[in-house]
Structure 1
Amino acid sequence: MKITHLGHACLLVETDVRLLIDPGTMSDFAALTDIDAVLVTHQHADHVDAGRLAALLAANPGARLVVDPDSVGAVDDLPEARVARPGERLTFGRTRVDVHGGRHAAVYGPVPGCTNNAYLVDDGAFFHPGDSFTMPPGDVDVLAVAIDGPWLKIAEAVDYVRAAGPRVAVPMHEGETTDPAKYAGMLGAFSDVPVRRLPAGVATAL
């Protein structure tokens, strides 16, 4: 498996297919080709930039668009989207993607949240939780983990990684911090799990 970090929470996952997860406003994905599927975890603009996504889908007419229930309104001007819910299994080529999750992590107390899908690739090879602390259902090899945002503090990210126990954690969701290396370093120092900060735009074998 190869993973390319395209900024913030946007990751290109390459197996026998090319899966793009969360192409948002803080991410650099416009030039991608040969995309097989675009998976959106939730409706916030930093995870789905509908304007630029329209151009990407036009350039990749074979790509399937998959969204959580609440994101349908954000992409209603795009080609037909498949709404996926927790408990469903999707197949792209020989690659399986299981949908987990349910809700975005709480930002503050009773403030209403939104739906949030977490995507598990090939029974634990990779897990992208979106903006949530959704636990993978079993062993996970590579875990994408948010390190900054209005809904978390670094201690929660550390606890999440320690509980999930992946072989390696890949930091993401750092587009609004001025010092992502600091937070990634803290994640590694406190979690007792190897943390690998991916170079932007470089396909990395994991």
Structure 2
Amino acid sequence: MHLTHYGHACVLVDTGAARLLFDPGAFSAGFESLDGLDAILVTHQHADHVVAGTLQDLLRRNPDAALVTDGQTAGQLDGIDARTAAPGDRLTLGGAEVAVVGTGDHAEIHSAIPIVANNGYLVDGALLHPGDAYVPPGVDDLTTLLLPTGAPWLKISEAVDYLRTVAPRTVVPIHEQTLADPAMHYRFFENLRPDATTMLVPDRGVAVGL
């Protein structure tokens, strides 16, 4: 399996049997010319995770790619056809098996702000993109966790506690573009991670093996 981080929540996962692109949103770049995608998966409706115009361009380049979103997001995509999914669903995308996980809700930003839908995606039981929520995937030996690092809804202690609870073999920090100095948060992860977890911070746009 190979992973390419395009900044913030946007990640390309190549399992060898499928090419899956997650959350091509407004805070990410470098993914726009990708082709050969089997699926584009969107965790939720916020603009840092999906932009309708960008999505339309990607789908024109990848006409055979499935687009998977939660039901709320699908209704906000300017008529783009999407396959809707919710926690508990299992999807076959290319040669990958993707389980939709989580509670179905985005983490609370503030009690005065409505909570939107959120899907976590577990690829081949090995790699988790949780979207914007810290819900353990129910996997005892997760290979790779994509860990949201900075956002209005989180604080560093919650990120560390989630990392320790999930205890993946490898953690890859994502969702960092809201921070002035993401490296400061990465140091917390490095110092407080489980002993058996390795932290990997890929250069943007560079594929790395997992």
Corresponding position of 1:106: 108
CA drift of 1:201 comes to: 0.2
Corresponding position of 1:180: 182
Matches for 1:49-68 after TM superposition, within 5 Å: 49-68=51-70
Per-residue CA distance 1:55-100 (angstroms, 9 max, x = gap): 111011111100011101221332x100001111000232100001
- Secondary structure (helix, strand or coil) at the match of 1:159 reads helix
CA drift of 1:110 comes to: 4.8
Corresponding position of 2:203: 199
For normalisation by structure 2, the TM-score amounts to 0.94
Q: Counterpart amino acid of 1:147?
A: T
Matched residues in 2 for 1:19 and 1:157: separation? Answer: 25
- Secondary structure (helix, strand or coil) at the match of 1:116 reads coil
- Secondary structure (helix, strand or coil) at the match of 2:21 reads strand
Per-residue CA distance 1:104-129 (angstroms, 9 max, x = gap): 00112353110100000102x10000
Corresponding position of 1:94: 95
User: Which stretch shows the higher mean deviation, 142-151 or 106-115?
Assistant: 106-115
Q: Counterpart amino acid of 2:22?
A: I
Corresponding position of 2:191: 189
Matched residues in 1 for 2:193 and 2:71: separation? Answer: 33
- Secondary structure (helix, strand or coil) at the match of 1:53 reads helix
CA drift of 1:191 comes to: 2.2
Matched residues in 2 for 1:161 and 1:106: separation? Answer: 19
Corresponding position of 2:11: 11
Counting matched residue pairs gives 204
Matched residues in 2 for 1:71 and 1:99: separation? Answer: 15
Matched residues in 1 for 2:64 and 2:95: separation? Answer: 16
Matched residues in 1 for 2:112 and 2:191: separation? Answer: 33
User: Which stretch shows the higher mean deviation, 37-46 or 110-119?
Assistant: 110-119
Work out whether residues 39 and 94 of structure 2, in 8 Å CA contact, stay in contact via their aligned partners in 1.
no
- Secondary structure (helix, strand or coil) at the match of 2:165 reads helix
Matched residues in 1 for 2:164 and 2:50: separation? Answer: 28
Matched residues in 2 for 1:188 and 1:154: separation? Answer: 12
CA drift of 1:152 comes to: 0.1
Segments of 5+ residues of structure 1 without an aligned counterpart are: none
Q: Counterpart amino acid of 2:58?
A: L
Matched residues in 2 for 1:60 and 1:92: separation? Answer: 14
CA drift of 1:194 comes to: 2.0
Matched residues in 2 for 1:61 and 1:93: separation? Answer: 14
Determine if the alignment matches structure 1 residue 24 to structure 2 residue 59: no
Q: Report sequence identity in percent.
A: 48
Matched residues in 1 for 2:40 and 2:56: separation? Answer: 11
Corresponding position of 1:136: 137
Matched residues in 2 for 1:73 and 1:56: separation? Answer: 18
